[in-house]
Each structure stands twice: as C-alpha cells, then as structure tokens.
C-alpha cells in the first residue's frame, strides 16, 4: 500500500479533463495512484505545499534511445551518414550491457527531473534499460531493438532473444514497465523479419515501435528499392495495427496518413531530432491530427537532440508547425499539451487525466519564476506550459502514486552517483 | 573600486579567445571587470567555488522589447495581423511609464538568471527601461522607439523626445547602459523620419536599431509601395552604416547581404520569434556569415517568444540552419556561440573574451546536471553550451566586475518583489 499524498493549496490545476480543464486554487489528493481534486481538509501520509505551483498530468517522451545519453555532445555538426558510420556505429559496437544500464539511468534521471513520467525506448541490451526503469520508478515501454539487414541468422537470433526478453519482462511483473518489440525500420529489417515481428506481437500481445519515414534520403532510397513508400509497404505486408507506434513519420503522403488513421497506428513526432539530423522536411502533424491519427511527441536519443526535456520539445513542435504553414494559429498550446500527455499515454496503454477516477501520474511546476510571470488566466497558463516553461521548473513528480521527485530532487536514485557512473563509463567506452 | 572576485578551481573555462579557446581546470580572477586565467594562488575579496562549473563570456540578447514580458502568454496562436490589431496594440495604448519599468525589471530578472549579461532594447517609455537596467547592473543599449506613419507632427515630437532621451541617458552617466535611436521599421517610418534619425545619430554619435525584412507579407507590401526592397531602400537614402543594427533580416537577397556587409551593418537573428510569428522563411544566417556580415542573436519580446533564454535561442538558431540547408554540418556550435557573444557585444560596442586584457562579463554554469553529462572533452563542452544547456544552469553572473548573480540568485533585485509587481501590474493593465 502506497503512502497517500496531498498537494495542498495548489495555485492552479490543469486536469486535461475536458469537463473541467483548469481549476484555480485546489488541493490534489493521491491514493492508489489516482489523483482527485479536493476542496475540503483531507489527511494524508505526505503533505506537500502547492502554493505558487501548477499541477498537471506528467509528460510522456514517446521516442528515445535512453543509453545514447552517454554519447551526448560527442559527435556533432556532421552529415548523417558520416555521423552514423564514423561516430555512432563504432561507438555502439563497443557497448557492453552495463553501459546501457548506466546510460539509461542518466537519461531517466534527466527525464524525471524535467517532468517526464513515462517513455518509449528502443535500443540494445533492453534488459538493462528495463532494470534501470524499474528501479527508478518511471513508467516505460521498453521495446527490444532488432534489425537483420536481410541476414537470416541474425534475424533468427534477434527473434529468439526478443522472445526471451518479453518473458523476462513478464516475470519481472512490474506493471509500470511494459515490454515490446522494436524492429529498427522498414529499410533495415527484411520483410521476413517484419512479418515475424508482427506474428510475435500478436502471439505475445505486446506493442511494436518502429522508425518510419524519417529522412528524405531514406524515403527516396526506399521507393527506388521497393517501388512503394514505407507506410504503403507496411500496410501491404500486414504489419500495421493499433499496437504499432511509428517514430518520425516525416515523409508521408495524404494517402499514407489515411492508412495510419485507418489502422489506428500511433505516430511519434520528434521535432528537435528532425531539425538536428536535417531530415529535410517537417512532419505533417496538423494533417495527421485532422485525419484522426493519434500523435505523440518524443525527444529521440540524446545524441540527436541533445537534451531530453519534453517542455522544449513541446515548444518547438508548436512553433515548427506555425512556421511550416505560415500560420501562427495552426496548432495551439492545448493541442500540443494533449499530444504530449494523451498521445504519449495512449502508446503506454493508459489515459492520463486528473478526474478522481483514473490512475494518472502528475507533476508540479513552480510558477514563481520570471519566465512564468505574469499568469493572466487559466488559458494563458496553458500557453506558459508550452511556450515558457522548461524542465527545470518541475518540483514534484508522482508516478503510480509514488513520490519520485520532491522539490526538484529525484528520490529513487542517488543523483551524484548516476552522474559519476555516466562520466566514468563514457570515458571508458572511448578508451576501449 | 569594485571588490575583486576569484572563481576558484573551475572545471572548464571557455575563453572565446582564439589563442587558447578552452582551458581545463583553472581559476579566474576578476579585477576592474577584467577576468584573467590564474594558475597560482591569488587572494580576492570574494571567492567562489568553481568546481563542477564552466566559465564563459556572458550571452548578449541583441533584440528585445523588455516591457512586453507583461503580455507573456496573453495573446497566442493568432495570425500576426489579428495579434497586433486586436491584442498587442490595444494593450500598448493603455501602457503607462511605470508599467514599462515593471515589465523591464521582470525581463531583466529573467535575463540575468539565464546568463544574459547585456541586451539591446527598443520600446516605449525608454527612460523607465534605462532606469531598470541601470539599477539591475546589466549591460544594455536602450534605443528610443519611434515611428511616424507619415505624420509630420508625430515625427517632430518623436525626434524631440528622442533627443531629450539621449541627453537624459548621457546625464545618467552609466557607462554600462548606452542609449540609441530605435526607428521601428522602414514601413512604419517615413523617409523624412529615417533621414532625420540618421542625422541625429551622426550628430549625437549614438547607434541605431531597426526592424528590417521580418515577414513575407511586409516584404511584398514594401516592394509594391516603394518599388524596391527594404535594404536597397535604406542604402539608397543613406541610412546604413556600421552604427546600425537590424533585427530579423529574414527576407534578404544576395545583393542586399552584400550591401549589409559593405556598410558593416549588424544583423540580429531572432529564430524563435520568426517561427512563432510565422514570418514565412528562415533568415539567411549562413549566407550572411559567409559574406562577412556580423550576425548576433536575440529573443525578441516575450510576447512573441515567450521566454528570454538565450541558450534556447542558440540551440534553435543552430538547428534551423541545419534543417533549412538539409545539412547538419552547415553551422557548428562554436560559430553559434561566437554569434551570441561576439556578434552581440559588437553592437554594444565591446568585444567579449577572457584574455586577461579586456573587460569581459562572465557567467558560470553548473555542469553537474544530467543533461550536461558526460563531458568528453573541451570541444564537446562547446556542444553542450549550444545543444544541451539552458538558462537554469547558470550559477553566477559577473558584469563589469560586479557579482550580479550568485548561486542562481540575482543580488541586485528582490526577486519576489519583481514577480509580485509584475503580476499586479499586468492585472491592472487588463482591468484599465
């Protein structure tokens, strides 16, 4: 039984509940992971002063590669091909399981401190990432990274390992941390592999996460080789479904967007990574939303971002669409906040809103800061969330009813230890 | 005589001095505003622990409208014309001098806390902004905002007031805070006005700051009305010179860029505002740098950004050029940092580098944070400055030899008072 928590006299509550989206002046009582708005006096095991703070459902980072934080800042300002071939792939070839644990802990520390309550991951040594997430008390979907580049032996080994990973995760039995399959992309996984992944996902009832239509070059090469576009191809081979989330989705046609909507495929927009990698275009976020596609936001790995602050990602997501459409009104702050919270939580299999009924992870933000001043109204507070606030404004994080961050400090990890381990490990990888 | 300051055992020093750009492990001694790298033991009036910190020259925000922080979040997600006509202009019509003082203080508080040591401003009630900057210990160039829309009476009044403002600033005699002329834009100021401003600037030896070529619509309308582009026009009427800095410069031809370089006009790129206002294009930053134009960075006012964090602006400036050119290598972190520090300080009339000879304002950043970990080398530390760090990492700010921010707290203002004043004033403006 978790301790009950009272966030007392919060200045503002953003519920993300359409019935009463914003409440001025209220306390939030959390029991069994369910936050309720309370106006009377309530007793609780833990009481936290909410004065000068805003409470809202936590943010979801729906696409990242957590261990890549070890490569932060290491390989910059290079063309994508050279970045991968000369820097990232040689580094990844040196990685040991323990490195991925250490790197995942570094990323989880950053995410928790910046108000991210859950993340979707795809990388190597997934058990280590799973372990790091489980220990830290964050919500996560850890998908098992796999690719075969047409090599049958590699494919079989990947599929066998992925199956074992799913069993391992199930045995761990931590409801907060789900497991899934992470075939890298349609251009790095053979048709046989994608079909086998689809079968395995159906059999094991686990979600799939995959990169799709990220760069202009990839799009052109794929069409040349397969005679069709990536989403068309995935639809044709029976890969798509409501359990599939695709990262990026930059190079999509209207027809492909309709297909994504039809199959209820979730899309994770990663605006900062897209700019940094120079994918050559801007994802059709507005068009996807209009067509009924559920869109989430992600940071991508720290090597291509380089931070994991979802407040920053929200701002840039909103601004890029305004720019792209020559229209400042095209995508408003409420929609972007909803993408981040609801779009992301749909991939994690849990809807997030403060309604006194559902489980919901929540965060508090300090409003007594110059960039959050003045607050004119509840509506303008939503604008602050997207356009002014940043991860460093986060004071508390409560995940599944557990107080994980208090007054900006992560309670489930020794911060200095995580930073030191990460520095030492990064130096060690370079030396190897 | 200022107190001497020793930043002891700093982990890294970014000097921005090409002779020795990055030093690992050094102390910085500041006397008379001149920071020197010292390796021996030195006594000082104030000793600050630099362990785990990086020291670098402070950032310059080369285009803002400081009092507009009072409108933060108030009018969002609207087309530019409606935003101006329905929201901003009616609000501005209600402004009193005291409001501008309060709003400027709010912005200066945010800028100081996020490592901005100097700013260029253009707005109304400039004396109040000058007063706020002088009191707070920040460096600034306050330009007197003016426009005539072809109205001769308004023009004469503006010019008279501007002249008085320059005298007022001179009498104040604060070397840190300069005064200048801020004709709004070529499309809001008549030719007579621009010529009179040019004459006044020559006579009084003060710099000029002006908006040029911001939006696609403005560009088209200007060409229709004047039969030429904005920079061509300004060159033709003899307005351009090395004392002129232009904000935005999005819609420029190669020929106009050559003209800017020829006259040594400084350009202030405001990437976040450009996206938010949806100006329709991306400023030709790479082309300007290649042509020898000195480019600085700015946030623009908080109403169109909505924060004044120059670390955020640096990151987005770098990423947008990569995106725009389909080339992640097109603009590297060192160049962006140099634009921000040198590009900005050139407009303020002072070069900024840590070389033991020149006056230089400096800031420290805490590196012991997840998003700043690991630090692989001095070179990757520069990447962290542009791609990972944010204003909230700033611990100390020393301007003109004075410790203005210590351990994240502004020493020259009572923070709570500034926030409360701003909140009360903003509510009062709406009620009027």
Torsion of CA A110, A402, A337, B321, to 10 degrees: 10
For B368, nearest residue in chain A (alpha carbons)? A419
> Helix (H, G, I), strand (E, B), or coil: what is residue B144?
strand
Q: CA-CA distance, B247 to B261, in Å (whole number)?
A: 15
Mean pLDDT value across residues A176-180: 97
Q: CA-CA distance, B350 to B200, in Å (whole number)?
A: 22
Among the partner residues A272, A326, A422, nearest to B373 by beta-carbon distance: A422
Mean pLDDT value across residues A408-419: 98
Contact check, Cβ <8 Å, A370/B419: yes
Mean pLDDT value across residues A90-110: 97
Mean pLDDT value across residues A131-139: 98
pLDDT of amino acid A81: 77
Q: CA-CA distance, B404 to B421, in Å (whole number)?
A: 21
User: In this prediction, what percent of chain A has a pLDDT beyond 90?
Assistant: 93
Average pLDDT, chain A: 96
User: CA torsion sign, A284 to A289 to A292 to A296?
Assistant: positive
pLDDT of amino acid A64: 98
Contact check, Cβ <8 Å, A427/B216: no
Contact check, Cβ <8 Å, B328/A276: yes
Residue A365 scores a pLDDT above 90: yes
Q: What is the pLDDT of residues B342-366, one digit of tens each?
A: 999 999 988 899 999 999 999 999 9
Beta strand pairing status for B59-64 and B116-123? parallel
A 351-370 → B contacts, CB under 8 A: 368-370
Q: Which residue has the tokens 């500034």?
A: B418
Q: Which residue has the tokens 């596609």?
A: A293
Establish if A419 touches chain B: CB-CB under 8 angstroms. yes
Average pLDDT, chain B: 96
How long, in residues, is chain A?
A: 432
pLDDT of amino acid B173: 85
Which H helix or E strand runs over B431?
A: helix B415-431
pLDDT band at residue B427 under the 50/70/90 scheme: very high
Among candidate residues A431, A422, A430, A428, the one with its CA nearest the CA of residue A103: A422
Among the partner residues B78, B307, B319, nearest to A276 by beta-carbon distance: B319
Among the partner residues B327, B380, B392, nearest to A74 by beta-carbon distance: B380
Among candidate residues B415, B314, B397, B291, the one with its CA nearest the CA of residue B30: B397
B 220-239 → A contacts, CB under 8 A: none
Q: CA-CA distance, A88 to A81, in Å (whole number)?
A: 10
ipTM comes to: 0.97
pLDDT band at residue A351 under the 50/70/90 scheme: confident
pLDDT band at residue A253 under the 50/70/90 scheme: very high
Establish if A322 touches chain B: CB-CB under 8 angstroms. yes
User: Nearest CA of chain A to the CA of B385: how many Å?
Assistant: 9
pLDDT of amino acid B144: 98
Q: Which CATH architecture has domain A5-58+360-410?
A: Roll (2.30)
pLDDT band at residue B174 under the 50/70/90 scheme: confident
Phi first, then psi, for residue A328 (nearest 5°) are: -65, -15
Q: What is the pLDDT of residues B256-291, one digit of tens each?
A: 999 999 999 999 999 999 999 999 999 999 999 999
- Helix A97-113 to helix A126-136 angle (10° resolution) is 40
For A79, nearest residue in chain B (alpha carbons)? B328
Q: What would the two tokens of residue B66 be? A: 């400081």
Residue B80 scores a pLDDT above 90: no
pLDDT of amino acid B49: 97
Q: What would the two tokens of residue B293 be? A: 């134009």
Q: How far is CA A195 from CA A32, A190, A212, A219, in A?
A: 40, 9, 16, 21
- What fold is seen in the domain A59-347? TIM Barrel (3.20.20)
Mean pLDDT value across residues A57-84: 91
Cβ neighbors of B257 (< 8 A, separation 6 or more) are: B284, B287, B288, B291, B293
Q: What is the pLDDT of residues B46-63, one digit of tens each?
A: 999 999 999 999 999 999
Establish if A320 touches chain B: CB-CB under 8 angstroms. yes
pLDDT of amino acid B319: 97
For B307, nearest residue in chain A (alpha carbons)? A388
pLDDT of amino acid A360: 97
Measured CA angle at B240 (ends B236, B243), to 5 deg: 170
Q: What is the pLDDT of residues A276-291, one digit of tens each?
A: 999 999 999 999 999 9
User: Nearest CA of chain A to the CA of B273: how many Å?
Assistant: 9
Domain ranges of chain B: 5-57+359-410, 59-347
Residue B24 scores a pLDDT above 90: yes
Q: Which CATH superfamily is domain B5-57+359-410 in?
A: Urease, subunit C, domain 1 (2.30.40.10)
| Number of Cβ pairs < 8 A linking chain A and chain B | 210
On whether the CB atoms of residues B158 and B150 are closer than 8 A, the answer is: no
Mean pLDDT value across residues B29-42: 92
In the DSSP assignment, the letter for residue A399 is E
pLDDT of amino acid B51: 97
Cβ neighbors of A125 (< 8 A, separation 6 or more) are: A67, A95, A96, A97, A99, A100, A101
User: Nearest CA of chain A to the CA of B301: how many Å?
Assistant: 12
Sheet holding A59-64, edge to edge: A59-64, A116-123, A139-146, A177-183, A208-212, A244-248, A266-269, A295-297
Contact check, Cβ <8 Å, A418/B370: yes
Task: Establish whether domains B5-57+359-410 and B59-347 are of one fold.
Answer: no
Mean pLDDT value across residues B391-411: 98
pLDDT of amino acid B349: 87
pLDDT band at residue B146 under the 50/70/90 scheme: very high
pLDDT of amino acid B78: 81
pLDDT of amino acid B351: 82
* Contacts of B313-317 spanning 24+ positions with Cβ under 8 A: B313/B61, B313/B270, B313/B271, B313/B272, B313/B340, B314/B59, B314/B340, B314/B385, B314/B386, B315/B386, B315/B387, B316/A316, B316/B271, B316/B272, B316/B275, B317/B269, B317/B271, B317/B285
Report yes or no on whether pTM surpasses 0.95: yes
Measured CA angle at B161 (ends B155, B167), to 5 deg: 140
* Distance, first Cα to last Cα, chain A: 46
- DSSP codes of every residue in A175-242: TTEEEEEEE--TTTS-HHHHHHHHHHHHHHT--EEEEES--HHHHHHHHHHHSS-HHHHHHHTT---T
* For residue A167, cis peptide bond before it (omega within 30 degrees of 0): no
- β-strand partners of B140: B119, B177
A 68-97 → B contacts, CB under 8 A: 69-70, 72-74, 76-80, 83
Cβ neighbors of A110 (< 8 A, separation 6 or more) are: A69, A302, A307, A308, A309, A391, B370, B371
In the DSSP assignment, the letter for residue A251 is S
Residue B81 scores a pLDDT above 80: no
On whether the CB atoms of residues A240 and A33 are closer than 8 A, the answer is: no
Contact check, Cβ <8 Å, B374/A427: yes
pLDDT of amino acid A84: 82
Residue A41 scores a pLDDT above 90: no
Phi first, then psi, for residue A87 (nearest 5°) are: -115, -65
Torsion of CA B390, B396, B399, B400, to 10 degrees: -150
Scanning A297-372, the segments in alpha helix (DSSP H) are: 310-324, 333-338, 344-347
């Amino acid at each position: 039984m978790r301790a009950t928590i009272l966030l007392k006299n919060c200045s503002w509550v953003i519920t993300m509940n359409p019935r009463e989206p914003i409440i001025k002046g209220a306390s939030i009582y959390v029991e069994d992971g369910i936050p309720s708005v309370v106006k009377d006096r309530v007793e609780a095991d833990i009481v936290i002063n909410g004065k000068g703070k805003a409470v809202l459902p936590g943010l979801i980072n729906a696409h990242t590669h957590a261990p890549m934080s070890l490569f932060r800042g290491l390989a910059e300002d290079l063309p994508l091909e050279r970045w991968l071939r000369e820097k990232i792939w040689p580094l990844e070839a040196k990685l040991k399981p323990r490195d991925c644990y250490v790197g995942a802990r570094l990323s989880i520390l950053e995410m928790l401190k910046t108000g991210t309550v859950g993340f979707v991951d795809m990388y190597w040594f997934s058990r280590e990432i799973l372990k790091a997430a489980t220990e830290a008390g964050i919500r996560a979907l850890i998908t098992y990274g796999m690719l075969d580049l047409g090599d049958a032996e590699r494919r079989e080994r990947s599929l066998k390992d992925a199956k074992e990973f799913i069993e391992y995760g199930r045995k761990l039995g931590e409801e907060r941390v789900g497991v899934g399959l992470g075939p890298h992309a349609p251009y790095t996984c053979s048709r046989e592999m994608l079909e086998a992944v689809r079968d395995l996902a159906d059999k094991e009832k686990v979600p799939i996460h995959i990169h799709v239509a990220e760069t202009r070059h990839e799009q052109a090469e794929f069409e040349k080789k397969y005679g069709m576009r990536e989403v068309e191809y995935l639809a044709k081979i029976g890969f798509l479904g409501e359990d599939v989330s695709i990262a990026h989705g930059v190079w999509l046609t209207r027809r492909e967007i309709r297909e994504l909507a039809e199959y209820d495929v979730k899309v994770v927009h990663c605006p900062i990574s897209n700019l940094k990698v120079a994918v050559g275009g801007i994802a059709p976020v507005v068009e996807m939303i209009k067509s009924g596609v559920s869109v989430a936001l992600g940071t991508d790995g720290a090597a291509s971002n380089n931070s994991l602050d979802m407040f920053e990602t929200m701002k840039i997501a909103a601004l890029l669409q305004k720019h792209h459409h020559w229209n400042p009104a095209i995508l408003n702050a409420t929609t972007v906040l909803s993408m981040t919270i609801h779009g992301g939580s749909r991939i994690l299999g849990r809807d997030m809103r403060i309604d006194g009924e559902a489980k919901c992870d929540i965060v508090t933000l300090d409003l007594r800061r110059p960039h959050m001043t003045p607050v004119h109204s509840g509506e303008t507070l939503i604008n602050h969330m997207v356009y002014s606030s940043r991860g460093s404004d986060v004071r508390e994080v409560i995940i599944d009813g557990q107080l994980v961050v208090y007054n900006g400090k992560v309670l489930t990890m020794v911060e200095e230890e995580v930073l030191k381990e990460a520095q030492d490990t990064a130096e060690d990888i370079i030396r190897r």
